[in-house]
Copies of this chain bind each other. A is one copy, B any other.
Amino acid sequence: MSSLASGPHGPDTLRPLLDTVLDALRAGAEARGGPLPAGGPGPVAARVRAALGEVLPPHGDATALHTLVRALAEGAADPADPLCAAHLHCPPLAVAAAADLAASVLNPSLDSWDQAPAASALEALVTEALAAEVYPQAAARTGTQARAQPRTQAGADPDADPHGRTPTTGGTPTGTTAPSPPGTERPGGSDALVTTGGTESNQLALLLARELHGGGVRLVCGANAHHSLHRAAWLLGLPEPVTVPAPAGTMDPVALDEALTRLPGPRGSLLVAATAGTTDAGLVDPLPGIADLCRAHGARLHIDAAYGGGLLFSDRHRARLTGLDRAHTVTLDLHKLGWQPVAAGLLAVRDRDELAVLDHRADYLNADDDTEAGLPDLLGRSLRTTRRPDILKIAVTLRTLGRSGLGALVDQVCAHADEFARLVRRHPRFELHDRPTLSTVLFRPAGATDDTVAAVRRTLLTEGRAVLGRARLDDRLWLKVTLLNPHTGPGDLAALLDLVEGHTPR
Contact with B along A69-113 (1 / 0, CB 8 A): 101111111111100001111111111111111111111110011
A59, chain B: closest CB distance, angstroms: 4
Q: Would A98 and B21 count as touching, CB distance under 8 A?
A: yes
Residue A444 lies at the interface, judged by CB distance under 8 Å to chain B: no
Interface residues of A in 181-212 (CB under 8 A from B): 181-183, 196-200, 203, 207
Segment touching B, from A168-176, A245-253, A290-298, A428-436: A168-176
Q: Would B75 and A119 count as touching, CB distance under 8 A?
A: yes
Q: Would A198 and B385 count as touching, CB distance under 8 A?
A: yes
A sample of 8 more A-B contacts (CB under 8 A), given A7-B29, A197-B387, A363-B470, is A4-B485, A6-B76, A6-B79, A15-B22, A36-B117, A42-B182, A87-B114, A88-B386
Residue A56 lies at the interface, judged by CB distance under 8 Å to chain B: yes
Residue A362 lies at the interface, judged by CB distance under 8 Å to chain B: yes
Residue A356 lies at the interface, judged by CB distance under 8 Å to chain B: no
Among residues of B, the one whose C-beta sits closest to the C-beta of A358 is B231
Chain B contacts of A114 at CB under 8 A? Answer: 36, 77, 86-87, 461, 467
Residue A57 lies at the interface, judged by CB distance under 8 Å to chain B: yes
Q: Would A343 and B386 count as touching, CB distance under 8 A?
A: yes
| Distance A108 CA – B469 CA, assembled complex (angstroms) | 16
Residue A325 lies at the interface, judged by CB distance under 8 Å to chain B: no
Those 6 A-B pairs whose CB atoms lie nearest each other, nearest first: A171-B234, A75-B118, A237-B237, A7-B80, A45-B182, A64-B399
A-B contact pairs, 25 of them (CB 8 A): A4-B93, A11-B26, A18-B98, A24-B102, A40-B374, A45-B182, A48-B183, A56-B403, A68-B392, A69-B102, A69-B396, A87-B109, A89-B109, A101-B101, A114-B467, A171-B233, A172-B234, A196-B387, A207-B235, A215-B237, A228-B385, A343-B387, A363-B471, A370-B470, A373-B458
Among residues of B, the one whose C-beta sits closest to the C-beta of A40 is B374
A295, chain B: closest CB distance, angstroms: 28
Chain B contacts of A55 at CB under 8 A? Answer: 125-126, 129-130, 395, 398-399
Interface hub of A23, A67, A122, A313 (most chain B Cβ within 10 A): A122
A480, chain B: closest CB distance, angstroms: 7
Q: A171-B240, A470-B367 are in contact. Are A388 and B341 (CB under 8 A)?
A: yes
A472, chain B: closest CB distance, angstroms: 6
Chain B contacts of A200 at CB under 8 A? Answer: 384
Q: Would B118 and A37 count as touching, CB distance under 8 A?
A: yes
Residue A166 lies at the interface, judged by CB distance under 8 Å to chain B: no
Interface hub of A105, A374, A461 (most chain B Cβ within 10 A): A105
Residue A1 lies at the interface, judged by CB distance under 8 Å to chain B: yes
Q: Would B44 and A172 count as touching, CB distance under 8 A?
A: no
| Distance A405 CA – B403 CA, assembled complex (angstroms) | 47
Chain B contacts of A72 at CB under 8 A? Answer: 102-103, 106, 108, 118-119, 122, 389, 392
Set B57, B94, B115, B400: member contacting A4, Cβ < 8 A: B94
| Distance A126 CA – B51 CA, assembled complex (angstroms) | 12
Residue A487 lies at the interface, judged by CB distance under 8 Å to chain B: yes
Residue A415 lies at the interface, judged by CB distance under 8 Å to chain B: no
| Distance A485 CA – B108 CA, assembled complex (angstroms) | 15
A394, chain B: closest CB distance, angstroms: 9
A97, chain B: closest CB distance, angstroms: 4
Chain B contacts of A182 at CB under 8 A? Answer: 41-42, 44-45
Residue A254 lies at the interface, judged by CB distance under 8 Å to chain B: no
Chain B contacts of A299 at CB under 8 A? Answer: none
| Distance A465 CA – B484 CA, assembled complex (angstroms) | 47
Q: A20-B98, A76-B117, A399-B53 are in contact. Are A454 and B369 (CB under 8 A)?
A: yes
Chain B contacts of A354 at CB under 8 A? Answer: none
Chain B contacts of A2 at CB under 8 A? Answer: 93, 339, 401, 405, 408-409, 486
| Distance A182 CA – B5 CA, assembled complex (angstroms) | 33
A415, chain B: closest CB distance, angstroms: 15
Chain B contacts of A57 at CB under 8 A? Answer: 399, 402-403
Q: Would A101 and B404 count as touching, CB distance under 8 A?
A: no
Chain B contacts of A41 at CB under 8 A? Answer: 113, 117, 121, 182, 374-376
Q: Would A80 and B401 count as touching, CB distance under 8 A?
A: no
Among residues of B, the one whose C-beta sits closest to the C-beta of A382 is B199
Q: Would B124 and A104 count as touching, CB distance under 8 A?
A: no
Among residues of B, the one whose C-beta sits closest to the C-beta of A486 is B2
Q: A56-B398, A360-B227, A467-B114 are in contact. Are A97 and B172 (CB under 8 A)?
A: no
Q: Would A64 and B400 count as touching, CB distance under 8 A?
A: yes
Residue A263 lies at the interface, judged by CB distance under 8 Å to chain B: no
Interface hub of A2, A200, A392 (most chain B Cβ within 10 A): A2
A445, chain B: closest CB distance, angstroms: 17
Chain B contacts of A399 at CB under 8 A? Answer: 52-53, 55-57, 60-61, 64, 67-68
